[in-house]
Structure 1
C-alpha cells in the first residue's frame, strides 16, 4: 500500500508478485514446435542462402505433420505444411496469414506438440515416416530424405544447445531406410547423335517469331559441352566468356574458356533478401570470391558466338534470358526441354529416362570426359565437384571397366593354371 502498487482483489497479491509468478510459470512451460521452428529459422536466416532457407522450412514443415494433435476436423496435411512454410519466414511474423492458410495456421499455433514430445516413441515413429515419405504415401527420393534428416538433425542439435531438449533423439535412432547409391543412371545419358538431335529440336520449340526455343539452344549446349549446372548457366555473362574468332582457312579451330563466378538458383521471392525469385550466390562448394575456369571445345565456341549474334545479351551482360528479357526460370527451361524431347526422340525413348531432365546433359558431358580418359581430378576441377564425388557417382557410367576387370581376372586364372 505504501508503494501504491496495484493488487488482485480476489487473492490480495500485489502486481509484482503476480508478474513474477507468471514469468516463472512461463519459464517452466515446454517450448512448442510452432514457436521453436519460428525462432530457429529466424536465428539462421541472415547466414543462410535462399535455397538453404527453403530447404530448412520444407524439412521442418514435413516434421510438423507429426508434431500436431490429430483430429477428424483438422486441416489437410498439405495446408498445414504450407502454413508452416509461410509462418517461419521472419518477415511474416506478426502479419495475418493468407485467407487460404488461416485455418491451418490457427491449428498449428494452438494444436502443436511440445518439442519434448519427440522423446515419445509413437511421436518419433511418425517423424521418421514424415521424413521418408511424400504426402501421397510414396517413398521420398533418397536426396529428399537425406536433406530433410540433415536439416532436422541440425535443428535438434540447436534444441539441445539451448536447453529445449536434453538429447537429440535422432542420434540414438536407427533410421530404417533403403540405401541409395547416389550413382548416375546410365539410361539418362545420350549419345552424340541424340545430343545433336535434342539441341536441334530445341530451336523448333515455340513460334519462330518469338524465338522461345532458339534463345535457349546455347543454354542447353553449355550443359552438354561444358557440364555447367543450370543455375550456373542462368548467371553466365558475356564477360565470363573467352570466345576466339572463327579460324582462317587452314587454321585449327581454337578452344575457348568459360570463367564461372556466380550461380543464380531459383528459390522463390519469400526466401531471398532481394525479393526476386533468383538468388545470387557464389559457386557451389567454393569461397565466394573463387572462380572456376572451364575450357570449351570449338563447337561450343561457335554456338555461343552465334547465340550472341542473334540474341545479344541482357542489360547486365547475361547471355540467356526468357522471352521478356528476364532471368531464365526453372519452369521455362523445363517446358522447352519437354517439348524438345517430343520432337527429337521416338515415342519409346520419350517414355524412357533418356535425357529426362536438362541436368542429364551435365551428366552426359562428365561421362564423356571420363570415357575419353580425362583424369578424375581434372574432371572434378572443371565441373566443381570433389574427385570422390565424381568417382562415386559416375563409376558405373564409364565404358570398358567390366571388360578390363574381366581381362585381369582371366589373366590371373591363367597364371594360377600355369603355376599348378
Structure 2
C-alpha cells in the first residue's frame, strides 16, 4: 500500500451560519489543505466551534494533514480504528459490484450475510435471525437495492440495529473474534454442516473482504492467513455416475423433440452435449457465432455468455446479463468444433425456427431469453421418458449441465490431448484433469501396451 501524501500547509477559517428554507440552521467549518478547500457542517455552533478549535490545535502542533481527505492524520487513524464490520462489508460490496458477474454478486451477498451475524458487538434487542438475514442479503449487500433508497419498512429497524451493533473491523485481529466468524461459514441456516464447496467459496469471499480491510488500513495484516482453521476438503472431480453415453444422449434428445415446444430446444441441449457449452453460453448463442457447412464439421466462435443470477443481482435488472466468457477477457474468442450431427441439428433449427431479432438461436416462451425454469422442466420430463426407472432415479444427467460433462468426458476418452480439450471446454489443463480425472476410462489397456512397447524398444 502506497504512503499517504501529507502536508503542513493548512489554514482554518471561521464558523459560518446557514439557514435553510425549513427554518433550520447549520454551522459550517471551512479549512484549506494544500490549496484544496474542505468543509464540514454541524447542528449547533458549539459543535462547530469545538471542531474548528481541534483543527487549529492540531495544525499549530505540527500535525500533518492528509491531502486526499483533508483530515488530520490522527483523526484518520481514529476513524479506521472505529470502522464497523458492517460499514466495511457494504463498502466492499460497492467496490466489487461494478465489475462482478450477477452470480458473483449473489455469492458475495450470501457469504457476507452468513458471517456478519457472527461479528456482533451486542445481542440486546436483536431482531430475529431470519429478519437480519433478509435485510443483509436483499438490501445491505446488494449495491443496486441500497442505492435505490432505504430498505422496506419492515426491515428498517433491523438495518439500523445491525448497523449499530457490529464489531469494529480491527477486532478481527483477535482470534477469539475471528474463529466464530469462520465457524459460521461452515454451517447452514438450520445449523447443519454446509457442503464443502460452499464453505470453501464463502471462506474465499470473507478472506478477500478482510484483505480489502488491510488495503484500506483498517488492519495491519490479514489474520485469516495465520489462523489454524481449515475449510472441509472440496471434491472437485465430476461424479462419473452423471455422465451419459452416446446412446443415452441420442435417446434424450429424441425425447426432447417429442415434447410440446421441445423441438425448439433440441439444438439447445445438443450444443451442450456435442460442443460442451455451459448453459449460459448456449442461451446466448447467436447465428453470427456459427460456421456451418452444408454437412460435416463446423465451428462455433463463442464470445459471450448470459448466466442467470436473477433480476436483483444484474446491473440492468434483467434475469440474464450478457458478459464475456468465463475466465476470459471481454474480446476473447473460444473456438469449439461442431461434429457433423450437431452441424445438421443447428442447420435444421435455423431453417425451422430462425433467430430472435438480435440473432439468438434460442428464446423463451414470449421471445425473451430462455429461462432455466423452462428448459429445466423440459429436461426433467425428457429424462423420465428416455431413461429406465432406475436410471431416472440415479444422478445420471440429472441437470442439463451434465451434458457438458458428457461432452468433455467423450473427448478425453477418445484420446484427444488434454490441452486441446481444455481449449475447447474453456478450462485450464490443470482444472480439466482435476475435475474429469474419474471420467477418463478405457485407456488403461492402451497405456500399458505403449509402456510395454517402449520397454521393448529400450532393450533392443
Q: Is the 8 A contact 1:87 1:93 kept in 2?
A: no
Q: Which residue of 2 aligns with 1:30?
A: 82
* Alignment CA distance shift 1:103-1:411 (3 Å): farther
| Distance of 2:141 and 2:209 partners within structure 1 | 13
Residue 359 (structure 1) aligned with residue 359 (structure 2): no
Unaligned runs of 5+ in 1: 246-252, 413-420
Q: How much does 1:72 deviate?
A: 8.3
1:58-73 equivalences under 5 Å are 58-69=110-121, 71=123
TM-score (norm 2): 0.78
Q: How much does 1:270 deviate?
A: 3.1
RMSD after superposition: 3.0
TM-score (norm 1): 0.85
Q: Of the candidates 185, 189, 203, which is equivalent to residue 135 of structure 1?
A: 189
Residue 186 (structure 1) aligned with residue 240 (structure 2): yes
Q: Of the candidates 6, 12, 15, which is equivalent to residue 48 of structure 2?
A: 15
Residue 257 (structure 1) aligned with residue 299 (structure 2): yes
Q: How much does 1:98 deviate?
A: 2.0
Q: Which residue of 2 aligns with 1:196?
A: 250
* Alignment CA distance shift 1:122-1:203 (3 Å): farther
* Alignment CA distance shift 1:171-1:373 (3 Å): same
Q: Deviations over 1:25-83 (max 9, x none)?
A: 96376111221111122123323333332222222111112123574864443432331
| Distance of 2:390 and 2:214 partners within structure 1 | 53
Helix, strand or coil at the partner of 2:301: strand
| Distance of 2:265 and 2:52 partners within structure 1 | 65
| Distance of 2:162 and 2:286 partners within structure 1 | 45
Q: Which residue of 1 aligns with 2:268?
A: 219
Helix, strand or coil at the partner of 2:304: coil
Q: Which residue of 2 aligns with 1:248?
A: none
Q: Which residue of 2 aligns with 1:47?
A: 99
Residue 79 (structure 1) aligned with residue 146 (structure 2): no
Q: Of the candidates 265, 269, 286, which is equivalent to residue 237 of structure 1?
A: 286
| Distance of 2:131 and 2:268 partners within structure 1 | 36
More strand by share: 2
Residue 119 (structure 1) aligned with residue 176 (structure 2): no
Q: How much does 1:135 deviate?
A: 1.2
Unaligned runs of 5+ in 2: 1-13, 18-26, 28-44, 56-70, 455-460
* Alignment CA distance shift 1:343-1:63 (3 Å): same
Q: How much does 1:174 deviate?
A: 2.4
Q: How much does 1:139 deviate?
A: 2.9
| Distance of 1:29 and 1:364 partners within structure 2 | 53
Q: Which residue of 2 aligns with 1:315?
A: 357
Q: Deviations over 1:327-359 (max 9, x none)?
A: 012222222222222222222222211111111
Q: How much does 1:402 deviate?
A: 4.9
Q: Is the 8 A contact 1:5 1:14 kept in 2?
A: no
Q: How much does 1:410 deviate?
A: 10
Count of matched residue pairs: 396
| Distance of 1:131 and 1:284 partners within structure 2 | 26
Q: Deviations over 1:281-310 (max 9, x none)?
A: 111222211111111111111111222222
The structure number with the bigger radius of gyration is: 2
Q: Is the 8 A contact 2:86 2:163 kept in 1?
A: yes
Helix, strand or coil at the partner of 1:285: coil
Higher relative contact order (CA closer than 8 Å, sequence separation 6+) = 1
| Distance of 1:119 and 1:35 partners within structure 2 | 17
* Alignment CA distance shift 1:15-1:76 (3 Å): closer
* Alignment CA distance shift 1:123-1:216 (3 Å): farther
* Alignment CA distance shift 1:48-1:14 (3 Å): closer
Q: How much does 1:404 deviate?
A: 5.9
Deviates more, 1:225-234 or 1:169-178: 169-178
